[in-house]
Amino acid sequence: MKAFLTDLLPKVEPHIRSVLERSIYLIDAPEEELAHFIQDQSASLTVSPAGRLIERARVSYDLRGSDPVERQRAAVEFANRPGMALDNNAVAEIEEAIDDEDPLVREIAILTTIQLHRYRALRSADPALVYDSVKRLTQINHPVVISRLIEIVEKPQTTFTAEGGSVEEEFHLRSRMIALLRLVEWHTSDAQAAVQKRRFDQNKQIARAAGRALELFPGPWTGPLKGKKSN
């Protein structure tokens, strides 16, 4: 039976695949775990979307492979679900799993947290929420976050004044500034290229900060500054 189900895995739709993966896992599970599984079936109907993602990270054949691409894809798909990035409970549940004992659960929790806060930072109309999410991204020590910080630095958000002009919101400026400074700390070639582009930023404060960073670190950026290493 296990061989039959395993053979079916690459041939079925994703929503069916997760069921097959769970079935394969349970075939070899000890009796005690099977008993718990049966008892938990009624409760599982009320598990949140975040909880289901974490459970998939524990047992899914795709999400537990050596290639992180599937975990990254699952993180993006979760964050792009309507309303998910603005659901504080979902965000909190995902972030809680960052401390899980299972390293693959931790990884998908980190990747999903990055995607959720990226969504907030780039799409939220609330400047305070944008700032909080960018600040959270600067606290995450995973290289995937570098490209997200670059997006934030490169996309200033503006608001129109009653006089018809446009000014950068204070919160958005602060968000871009802390993202820029974190890129300096990451000190990778991609981060350096992004900072170099900001020398000509439309905001003078960002342009000055970028110029100063390049003066302090004129050579190639080859990795995190001391004390700022990634996980």
Gap between the Cα atoms of 144 and 121, Å rounded: 16
In the chain, where the domains are located: 1-20+48-123, 126-231
pTM of the model as a whole: 0.76
Backbone angles phi, psi at 71, to 5 degrees: -65, -40
Average model confidence (pLDDT) across the chain: 85
| Greatest CA separation for the chain | 72
Beta-sheet pairing, 166-168 with 158-160: antiparallel
Q: Count other C-beta atoms under 10 Å from residue 2's C-beta.
A: 11
Structure letter (DSSP) for residue 40:
T
Q: Give 216-227 pLDDT, tens digit per residue.
A: 999 999 999 976
The pLDDT of residue 158 is above 60 = no
Q: Which amino acid is at 2?
A: K
Residue pair 221/210 in contact (Cβ under 8 Å)? The answer is no
Q: Which two tokens stand for residue 172?
A: 């958005």
Tell me the pLDDT tens digit for each residue of 81-115. Answer: 999 999 999 999 999 999 999 999 999 999 999 99
Q: What's the token pair of residue 137?
A: 């991204």
Q: What angle do CA 85, 90, 94 make, to 5 degrees?
A: 100
The rounded distance, in Å, linking the Cα atoms of 167 and 8 is 57
| 3-state class (DSSP) for residue 168 | strand
DSSP lists the bridge partners of residue 168 as 158
